[in-house]
Structure 1
């Protein structure tokens, strides 16, 4: 997915890792993508810019695509409508809970993104892609769009690629399961490519259960609730809310047993676990580009605009099969973009 903000602010990628028993609530902010989609953006966050190499987390839906749009949109049906746009220095991770999205990219990939199937696109030095809701697909759209920052050696050496995994491994627990997108959970490992120590999983926890989830103490983590209500320590999270966990833990209790003054029927919880070794490199993150300097971003933007004018170039080919114009880059800010480390 693109960052479709027309005046994107420079993102300070990186924040100091917090040790031991830190629990930090990450407040989402609403962002309108284009004319048809509103998301809850959890990363970058004013309090925490990255979790491991995860540098961008958008959660959207559930949206009824059969309904008319509301006040923040133009007239017409809902749905994902993201024209061809570029990426550099990152991986995009698409994960759906409901619905279908059609993916096309400049290396010739054409795939339907479906619930429970991992779609991971590695940009290397440059790739372009489009994402559009399937016109005759399911009426509900609900999912996450995630970015992973590539380390410097990988962004320069790894070629652009798209990988789709329709049968991911599952770690099972008493009253819970974890579908492993990237990395390992409880000894169960995903086949998806990762270029730093990283983990991503979709957790489903039954009503009335507490999952003692094993963790890697060298990793920092985030937990994003996408359905139900979850208790972690003294925090209770609801739909679209996220908590940051510092390093140093070997496990964490995730509980669906919520104490309230009103007696309610218990419900299960679905949440995303994102984690990894704290990312040490200094980054510049602007619009859909991740680089290491202001010059990196200026060059990437110029190369994308040149590709639009020429119908493709050596860095950014056009997206075959997409019926419409690519997305032009916004203007650069007046001030120089500066690389940021993990410490503010």
Structure 2
């Protein structure tokens, strides 16, 4: 897992150097002018898809959401998708429910794209076109570099389409700096997170906006590598019931990157500190209330990348400190096939 996390900056550099596939996808979208994006995915890939939806709505103004898989793989709903683009996100491209779902969305009228990390996958075979990620073989059960590569393909295609629509090159220019920023994120000292979680059986990760998909990804990594029962909510949603479980001493990790969501998120963290929870806030350096700084980027849509890059290192080190093998959890396997 650690080797794969350390490889992420080079994966992103390769994707910047060879961007033909994402440029072609953006060109297709520019012609098709979709009014809706939908996705199918599971696990870490679903978090990458959620990031895509956030970025597409924020940058392009196109409605974008995940389709409940049971409504397309088990009880096919009569969806009307004549002006939609459907994306399937998957490391292996093998899971039958994803393959069946993308095929069904195509039958309902959507133009389909598979974003996969495995050559000659079944998911790519049923799609109109595919982006093969250059993350390479991923050995650890816990997905890391494949998830970030999916995020990268997502934001690259959105950046190209945004530029085509006349929204400027700020996002494209910011992407050029991202690999170096990801390398810097590897070097941060986040040992305070290990201290917080080392002896914890439960925890919660909180984020909002673009940070929420990465909060979900962080929670999943704590579950699968460390066997910590980890909940995840937005810093707004948590107030609608879930914060009742945050008692004195409860471990709470808060993602509070730059952006319009930061102020409310920090206020929530302060309220939980007053309650007696063990709160660890990750945010920009020299910001009041922040415990751990992260590497900031040149664009708000790229902040989630450096957040999760540093957290992946925490999850790997924490698993080892808890006597677990982060590469091979006890009850999981690399390729999961569900229906």
Relative to the length of structure 2, the TM-score reads 0.26
Higher helix proportion: 2
Asked which structure has the greater RCO (Cα within 8 Å, sep 6+), the reply is 1
